[in-house]
Amino acid sequence: LAKTTQPISMDSYEGQEVNITCSHNNIATNDYITWYQQFPSQGPRFIIQGYKTKVTNEVASLFIPADRKSSTLSLPRVSLSDTAVYYCLVVADSNYQLIWGAGTKLIIKP
Amino acid sequence: DTGVSQDPRHKITKRGQNVTFRCDPISEHNRLYWYRQTLGQGPEFLTYFQNEAQLEKSRLLSDRFSAERPKGSFSTLEIQRTEQGDSAMYLCASSPPRDGGGINEKLFFGSGTQLSVL
């Protein structure tokens, strides 16, 4: 199971772009990279998933370099409501036991 | 709202008592997961169902924990003889059938059941 490493915490300000990088050095060929967001007292919420290059949706962008050993979640123009914990996971087709790290606690300041 | 529903939201119990939690997944989702989460940590996998079949169970899971999913719809998680170390948020998630192509493991989580064992 590929392990992920991401910063424990980050601070930013409203209106800024925030980039959270995740390292997954032993990612396998069939693994996908998935990010979730979690607010206090709620379950995690799916943000974005990708395999390579760049994926964009209405919430975020995900950048994955060619070697796929890392990925960067980009949140454009953050607001106070983006304060949450963000989890990076590597998802394998044959594995249902998703391994969750402690995530990155993002704090947005006014 | 047709999201994942968990009941109760909060449960306070005394050590040694049994507790049962219920999860109602999104109706067309055939896969269901239970996770446990403690403060400051990510969710920890407990068990996984595909329809009514329990396909995986964490090796770390004590035999005091049991889960069922009769008829492949709602699921229950029971903890017998609760211990203070069982205090945590218990999360249920569901996901739709694989679409036959690449992986699309997108989990939909409920709001969890917060268990406090005194």
B108 in contact with A at a CB cutoff of 8 Å?
yes
Q: What is the pLDDT of residue A97?
A: 67
| Tens-digit pLDDT string for chain B (118 aa) | 579 999 999 999 999 999 999 999 999 899 999 999 999 999 999 999 999 999 888 887 889 999 999 988 999 999 999 999 999 999 999 988 876 554 557 899 999 999 999 9
Cβ–Cβ under 8 Å, residues B7 and B21: yes
The DSSP code sequence of chain A is ----B--SEEEEETT--EEEEEE-TT--TT-EEEEEEE-TTS--EEEEEESSEEEE-SS-EEEE-TT-SEEEEEESS--GGG-EEEEEEEE-TT---PPP---EEEEEE-
Please calculate the CA angle B62-B67-B73 and round it to the nearest 5 degrees: 165
Nearest-angstrom CA–CA distance, B5 and B105: 19
Q: Which of A21, A17, A34, A24 is nearest to A1 (CA)?
A: A24
Which regions of chain A are under pLDDT 70? 1-2, 92-97
CB B105 to CB A32 under 8 A? yes
Integer Cα distance of A35 and B108 in angstroms: 13
Instruction: Provide, rounded to the nearest whole percent, the portion of chain A with pLDDT above 70.
Output: 93
What phi-psi label fits residue B27: left (phi over 0), alpha (psi between -120 and 50 degrees) or beta?
alpha
Q: What is the pLDDT of residue A62?
A: 97
- Give the Cβ contact number of residue B60 at 10 Å: 10
Are B90 and B61 contacting, i.e. CB atoms less than 8 angstroms apart? no
The answer to whether B104 and A49 are in contact (CB under 8 A) is: yes
- On whether any CB of chain A is under 8 Å from the CB of B103, the answer is yes
State percent of chain B over pLDDT 90.
74
Per-residue pLDDT at A95: 59
3-class secondary-structure state, position B79 = strand
What type of residue sits at position B111?
S
What pLDDT is stored for residue B100 in this prediction? 57
pLDDT of residue B69: 96
Give the B window 49-78 contacts with A, CB below 8 Å: 55-56, 58
Partner A contacted by B43 (CB < 8 A) = yes
Q: Which tens digit of pLDDT belongs to each residue from B45-54?
A: 999 999 999 9
Q: Give CA–CA dist B80/B18, Å, rounded.
A: 4
pLDDT (0 to 100) of residue B98: 72
